[in-house]
Amino acid sequence: GAGVSQTPSNKVTEKGKYVELRCDPISGHTALYWYRQSLGQGPEFLIYFQGTGAADDSGLPNDRFFAVRPEGSVSTLKIQRTERGDSAVYLCASSSTGTSGGAGYNEQFFGPGTRLTVL
Amino acid sequence: AQTVTQSQPEMSVQEAETVTLSCTYDTSESDYYLFWYKQPPSRQMILVIRQEAYKQQNATENRFSVNFQKAAKSFSLKISDSQLGDAAMYFCAYSPTGNQFYFGTGTSLTVIP
C-alpha cells in the first residue's frame, strides 16, 4: 500500500473486553511506532519496534497493554480488560529505519488511527 | 522529564496573512530533534517541518519556517501566506533520539477566508 493503514478505523467495546488493533506499515519500513491520543491531547508514545523486537516499550501504561510484530511487518496492539480510560485514538507510524541518536533521522509516516471507545 | 508546552489552544488567521504558533519544551539533552506536525480532521499526522538542535540555522519549508531559540528552549512555527488548507490542529513535538516523540497539546488553527 501507499501509506500506513490501520484497522479497524473505529472500535466500540464494553468495559472488561479484549481488543486488538492492527497496523500495516509502509512496505519495507523496519521501524514501527504506536501512540495513543486522548481527546484534546497530543499523541503519547507507547512502544517502538525495530524489526520484530520491541526496542522501547517504556510508554505502555500497564501490563494490560501488549504489542507484537512477529514477522517484522504488521503489528498488533492488544489491550486486555479494557477500561473506559482506554478510550482514545491509537495511532501507528512507520519509518524506513529507527534512529540512533546522532545517526540521522528518518521521517515517521502516520496512519489514520483507530478510534477506540470503551463503554 | 521532557515536556512540550503549547500555550495557544486556538489561533485564527486571515487568508494570505501570517501567523505564528508558539512552542516551548524542557530537556536536559544537548542534541535532539524538534518537529511541527499538522493533524487535519482525517486524524492523519503530517510532518510540516523539523529542526535538528545542533543546527543553528532555522529550518524552512516553503511557506513554513521556524524560529528556534535553543537557549530559551523555544520553537515557534510561522506560516506565511496562510491558505484555507492550512486549517488544522498543529502539534509541536520533541524527540531526544528521533524515535520516541513527546507531543504538546496542540493548537487549533482556523483560517478565515
pLDDT tens track for A72-96 = 999 999 999 999 999 999 999 999 8
pLDDT tens track for B41-93 = 888 899 999 999 999 899 999 999 999 999 999 999 999 999 999 999 999 99
Chain A CB within 8 Å of residue B30 CB: no
Chain B CB within 8 Å of residue A88 CB: no
CA angle, residues B79, B81, B84, in degrees to nearest 5 = 90
- pLDDT higher than 70, residue B105: yes
Search chain B and give the residue with CA nearest A114: B43
Chain B CB within 8 Å of residue A108 CB: yes
**Residue B110 β-bridge partners:** B12
Structure-block grid coordinates of residue B81: 501566506
A26 contact residues in B (CB cutoff 8 A): none
Yes or no, beta carbons of A100 and B97 under 8 Å apart: yes
**Residue A5, exposed/middle/buried by CB under 10 A (0-12, 13-18, 19+)?**
middle
Amino acid identity, position A32: L
Chain A CB within 8 Å of residue B88 CB: no
What percent of chain A lies above the pLDDT cut of 90?
83
**Residue A117 β-bridge partners:** A12
A115 contact residues in B (CB cutoff 8 A): 43
**Which of B27, B44, B48, B91 to mutate against chain A (most A CBs within 10 Å)?**
B44
CA A74 – CA B90 distance, rounded (Å): 28
pLDDT tens track for B85-98 = 999 999 999 998 87
